Amino acid sequence: MSQRIYITGLGVISAIGNNVPETLASLTQSKTGIGKIHHLTTRYKDEFLAGEIKLSNEQLADLVNDHNPDLNRNSYIAMLAAKEAVQNSGIDTADGLRTGVISSTTVAGMGKTELYYKELFEKDDHLSVLDTHDCGDSTERIADFLGNVDYVTTISTACSSAANAIMLGCRMIKNGLLDRAVVGGVDALSKFTFNGFNTLMILDKEWSKPFDENRKGLNLGEAAAFLVIEGEEALKKRNGKALAEIVGYANTNDAYHQTASSPEGYGAQMAIEQALQMSGLKPGDIDYINMHGTGTPNNDLSEGTATRAVFGDKVPRFSSTKAFTGHTLAAAAAIEAVISVLSIQNDMIFPNLNFTTPIAGLDLVPETSLVKTPVNTVLSNSFGFGGNCSSLIFKKVSA
Amino acid sequence: MDALIEKLKGQIIEQLNLAEVKPEEINPDSPLFGEGLGLDSIDALELIVLLEKHYGIKIEDPKDGKTIFQSVRTMAEYIKSQGKS
Amino acid sequence: MAKAYINGTGCISPQDSINSQWFFDPVTPPSGDYYNAKEPSYKEFIAPNLLRRMGRAIKMGVAGANLALQQAGATKVDAIITGTGLGCFEDSERFLLAMLNNNEQFLTPTSFIQSTHNTVGSQIALIMKCHDYNFTYVHRGFSFESTLQDALMLFSEGKESVLVGGIEEHTPNFVELNRRAHKFKTYDPAIPFWKSTTPGIQMSEGAAFFVLGKHKTERSMATIEGVQTLYKPKSSDVILKKLSAFLDSHGLSLAQIDVCLMGFSSDVNFDVHLKELLPEIEKETVAAHFKHLSGEYHTASAFALWTATKLIEKQELPEVLAISDRKPSQIRHVLIINQYLGINYSFTLVSKC
C-alpha cells in the first residue's frame, strides 16, 4: 500500500523572483533579493533590510486577475505560486483523481488586519477583514482558484510549517486518502511579524550571514512556494514526469524552550536522523544539505552542532539560501524544497552568501560560490518556535 | 540607591507579570536568572524594554543584559552609571 | 486505516464539562448572544512561573490536556496534535494593539511569542518533555478534524498513543467587532436551532483534549472509527452520497447508527444543507444536536466528540440533546455531522469499544 511519492511541479514567488525560472537565475547569479524596504509600512523602513516580493498588491491583483477586495497579499502570492506549480506539473484537477491543497502560514491575514484594526472600533467599512484574518483563508482561496479540490487543510508550526505540509501530503497519499496534493506555505511580510522579531532582538540590520562566526541575526522575507506531489500510481495513470522523489521526512520537538533551540540541537539531530532512517540512506549518501541557517546566533550554533553530531567530520556540502530570500517563515521550507529540487535538476549547489569566518569550535564551512557537481540527494532542514523540527530528503529520479 | 531598588522591584514584578511575588521577597543581591526568581532569556528581553520605557536606556546587544541583569542591585547601578535614575 | 481508542478526555466548555461527573445537567445558557468558557482555577494544573505568561487559549489547552492525561493515566504520549482556528488571539491582539498604539515602540516579546498558533502544542510538549511528533492544524472548521485524521494515520504508521485537542478563545474586542458585523443573534430557547429562520450564531470558545491509543485499555471509553472532511459540498445530496460511502467503508449503514449528532448553528444560511439532511437522518436513526450547549467556534467538533464519548459511556441520550422524542434503544455507534459556516463539513464515526 505504501507507494513512492514524487514531486512533479514547482511554483514560487519571493524576493528573488516571481516564478521558478527567475528564482533559478538569481540563485545561479548569486543575486540576493534582500534590500531596502519599499512596500511594508513601518517606522523602521530605513533602519532594516527585508526580502520583499518586488510587486505591489495592485500588481499582484493584476497577475491573479482578481480584484476582489477580500483578497490580501498572503492570498495573492499563494494563488500565484500554487498555480505555477500545478501548471508546471501538468495535472488536471478535474480528471477525477483526488487532489488536496495542504498549505501553511503563520501570519495569515494579519498584514491586512493591522492596517484596519483600530479603525474597526469606530466604523464598519472594513469589518470584513475579520473574515480573512485566519490561516485557513488563503488555503481556501488557492483551492477555489485551482478548482475541483477534494481536500483542504492548513498547518502552522512556525518556521517549520511548510515542511510539515509537505510531509502531511506524502502521508495522506501513502495512507490512500489522496492521489496527489499541492503542498507548501505562504507568509507575506507584515508589520506584526517584523516588530515581533524585532522584540526578540534577532534581526540583523545588515545582510544576514548564516553560519558566520560574526552573524548577528536574520533578515525577514516574504514568499509563497508550492509543490505538486503525486503518488506513483496517480503519476503512472496520467503518464506524468517526476522532477524528484521524496524519500525521507521526520518531525520532532526540541522541547527545550518556547523560542530558543537547545545548544546541543537535540530536536534537530533527531529530525535529521529519523529522516535518514526512513530514506534508507546513510549520512555519507547525502550530496547537499540546504540548512535552516537563519543567521541568528542561536539557530546556526544549534543546527551546526546537530549537523556535526550526525555527520561527524564528513559533513556534506551545505549552504543556507536564506541570505538570498530572507527568512520567509511558514514558506521557508517550501521555497527551500523548490531550491533543493532545482539543485537536483541542475546538478548545482547554490551559495551561502555573506559568509567569511566559520563558527569557532564547529569549523563548518558552507559553499560560498556556485558549485556544479552531481546532486542526487538533498537534505533540507526547517526548525521553528515551539521546538518544532522537521527534515526532508529529496532524491533524483533514476532514469 | 535604595529608593531606586524599591522602584525597580515593582517595575520588574509588573513587567514580568510575577503576580505571586511580593517586592519584599526579592533580595536585591540575589541572582535574577537561573535560581532566585528563575527568569529566562525572554525575561531578559522584557527587562531591556523596561529600561528603555522607564529610563530611556537603549541596549542594542542582548548579550549586554548578562552583566546588567545579574541582580536588582546591578540593574540599579547600571541605571545610575547612565545618569538616568 | 487504523482506529483509535479514546482513553481519556478533558473538556473545558461553556458548560460544566470540566467536572467528569457532569452529564448535560444542569445546562448553562449563553450570556445574551455569545458564550464564555467556564474556566477552572489554573493553579491546580499549571506551575506559577509558566502561568504568568500564558493567555487563556494556552491555559485552557494545557488544563484540558492535563485532564485528559490524568483520566487516561498517561504521563507520556508518542505525538501531540492540536487544532485551532484562530490560535492565541488574545496575545495576537495584545501585541497588535500595543504596536498600533505605541507606534511600534516599547514592544515586548512575550505576547508575540505566545501569539504563535503552535504555542499550545509546544507548551504541552515542553511540560511533558515530549520530543516526538508535534503538529498544529489551523484550518477553520477542519482544524480539529485534521488532528483526528492525523492521529489515525499515525496509528497506521506504528505510533501507540497520541494526544489531540481543539482550542479556541475569544476576546471582548473580538466579540464586539463580530457583533457589529452582525454575526450574532440573541439566544432564544423557544426556537430550536434546526428550526431557526434567521441568520446569526452564538460565538463561543473552549478546549477539548483526548488521549488516543492504538490499543484498548481498561480505561477505553469509545473508539474513533473514521473521520472525513468535505470542502464546500454543493448540495445535501452530495453530502448524503459521501456519507453513505463513508459509512459503507466502515461496514455500516445509516440505519445502524444509534445517534447522529448534527452541527446546527442556528444560522439559517449556514444550516441549509443540514436542514435538508435532517429528514433523511430521522428516517433511519435518532438525530441530536450540541451547539446550543457548546456555542459555535472553529473547533466545536471537539466538544461534539466529547459528547459522543459521554453518550457511549452512559448509554443514554439526554433529552437536552435530542431533536425529537425518539430514544435510541442502545448506543453502539454515534455519527457526528458537523458544519462550519456552511463551508467546512465533516463526518466523525465514534463506536462502543
Window 104-133 of C: residues touching B by CB (8 A cutoff) are 106-110, 113
Of A50, A67, A54, A47, nearest to A22 (Cα)? A54
- Among C85, C87, C99, whose Cβ lies nearest the Cβ of A195? C99
- Is the same domain home to C10 and C148? yes
Q: Which three cell numbers stand for residue A202?
A: 534577532
Across the interface, of B42, B48, B62, the residue whose CB is closest to A259 is B42
pLDDT confidence band for C350 (50 / 70 / 90): very high
Q: Is the Cβ of B38 closer than 8 Å to some Cβ of chain A? A: no
**CB C149 within 8 Å of CB C194:** no
Say what the pLDDT of residue B85 is: 66
Mean pLDDT for all residues in chain B: 91
Each residue's pLDDT tens digit, A178-210: 999 999 999 999 999 999 999 999 999 999 999
Q: Supply the pLDDT for residue A398.
A: 80
Annotated active-site residue in A135, A159, A170, A389: A159
Model confidence band, residue B78 (pLDDT cutoffs 50, 70, 90): very high
pTM: 0.97
Cell numbers that stand for A395 in this block:
532524491
Domain ranges of chain A: 5-238, 246-395
Do domains A5-238 and A246-395 share one topology? The answer is yes
pLDDT at C249: 97
Residue with cell 478535474: A94
Determine the CATH number of domain A246-395: 3.40.47.10
In chain C, how many domains are there?
A: 2
CB A373 within 8 A of CB A230: no
CA closest to C346 among chain A residues: A151
Q: Which residues span the domain enclosing B21? A: 2-81
What one-character-per-residue DSSP string does C224-240 give? EEEEEEEES-SSHHHHH
Contacts of C272 (CB under 8 A, 6+ apart): C236, C342
Q: pLDDT tier at A282 (50, 70, 90 boundaries)?
A: very high
- Are the C-beta atoms of A178 and A168 separated by less than 8 Å? no
Q: Please provide the average confidence, as pLDDT, over all residues in chain A.
A: 97
From chain A residues 254-283, the ones with a CB under 8 A of any chain B CB are: 257-260
User: Mean per-residue pLDDT for C319-343?
Assistant: 97
Q: B-contacting residues of C 11-50, CB under 8 Å?
A: 48-49
Read off the pLDDT band of A399 (50, 70, 90). low
Q: Is A292 a catalytic residue?
A: yes
Planar angle of CA C268, C270, C276, nearest 5 degrees: 75
CATH number for the domain harbouring residue C148: 3.40.47.10
- Give the pLDDT confidence of C29-38 residue by residue, as tens digits: 998 899 999 9
The percentage of chain A sitting over the pLDDT mark of 70, rounded to a whole number, equals: 99
CA atoms within 13 A on the CB side of A287: 19
pLDDT value of residue A109 = 96
Residues of A in contact with B33 (CB under 8 A): none
What CATH number should be reported for the domain holding residue B19? 1.10.1200.10
Q: Are A302 and A294 in contact, with CB atoms under 8 Å apart?
A: no
Give Cβ neighbours of residue C233 (< 8 Å, ≥ 6 apart): C239, C242, C273, C345
pLDDT band for C254, please (50, 70, 90 cuts).
very high
Q: Which residues, numbered 207 to 236 in chain A, qualify as contacts with chain C under a Cβ-Cβ cut-off of 8 Å?
A: none
Angle (nearest 5°) at CA A212 between A211 and A214:
135
- Check residue B34 and give its pLDDT: 80
Contacts of B45 in chain A (CB under 8 A): 199-201
Contacts of B11 in chain C (CB under 8 A): none
CB distance from C52 to chain B under 8 Å? Answer: yes
- In order, the DSSP letters of C255-309 are GG-SEEEE---S-TTTTHHHHHHHHHHHHHSEEEE-HHHH-B-TTHHHHHHHHHH
> Is some CB atom of chain C closer than 8 A to the CB atom of A273?
no
Q: Are C236 and C201 within one domain?
A: no
Q: Which three cell numbers mark A180?
A: 496527489
Is the domain of C244 the same as that of C186?
no
- Under a CB-based contact definition with an 8 Å cutoff, are residues A222 and A328 in contact? yes
A389 catalytic residue (yes or no): no
Domain extent for C114 = 4-213
Sign, CA torsion C18/C22/C24/C26? negative
* Separation CA C50–CA A140 (nearest Å): 36
The residue from C169, C196, C213 where one domain ends is: C213
Does A1 have pLDDT greater than 80? Answer: no
**Is the pLDDT reported for residue B84 higher than 80?**
no
> Mean pLDDT across the stretch C122-151?
97
Answer yes or no: do C110 and B46 touch at CB < 8 A.
yes
**Closest chain B C-alpha to A258 CA, distance in angstroms:** 9
State mean pLDDT over A122-126. Answer: 93
Q: Choose the catalytic residue: A135, A170, A327, A389.
A: A327
pLDDT at C62: 98
C57-67 pLDDT per residue, tens: 999 999 999 99
Number of domains in chain B: 1
Task: Kindly indicate the confidence band of residue C84, based on its pLDDT and cuts at 50, 70 and 90.
Answer: very high
Q: Which residue of B has its CA nearest to A217?
A: B61
Please state which of the ranges A55-64, A88-97, B38-47, C148-157 shows the lowest mean pLDDT: B38-47
Are C179 and C308 members of one domain? no
Known catalytic residue: A39? no
Answer whether residue A67 shows pLDDT above 90. Answer: yes
Task: Tell me the per-residue pLDDT of A311-364, one tens digit each, with 9 for 90 and over.
Answer: 999 999 999 999 999 999 999 999 999 999 999 999 999 999 999 999 999 999
Q: What is the pLDDT of residues A288-299, one digit of tens each?
A: 999 999 999 999
How wide is the angle at C-alpha C115 spanned by C-alphas A110 and C290, nearest 5°? 90
Give the contacts of A159 (CB within 8 A, at least 6 positions apart): A106, A292, A294, A327, A329, A330, A332, A333, A382, A383, A384, A385, A388
How many cross-chain Cβ pairs, A to C, lie less than 8 Å apart? 185
At C169-182, the pLDDT tens digits run: 999 999 999 999 99
**Mean pLDDT across A106-129:** 95
Does B42 touch chain C if contact means CB atoms closer than 8 Å? Answer: yes
pLDDT of residue B36: 74
Cβ contact, residue pair A201, B40, below 8 Å: no
Residue A19: φ, ψ to 5°: -160, 180
In sequence order, what E strands does chain A have?
5-13, 35-36, 49-51, 99-104, 151-155, 180-187, 220-221, 223-231, 244-253, 288-290, 317-319, 348-349, 371-372, 377-383, 388-395
A vs B: CB pairs below 8 A: 12
| C50 and C196 housed in the same domain | yes
Say whether both C194 and C243 belong to one domain: no
Write the CATH number of the domain with boundaries A5-238: 3.40.47.10
Closest residue in chain C to residue A256, using alpha carbons only: C126
Separation CA C204–CA C311 (nearest Å): 22
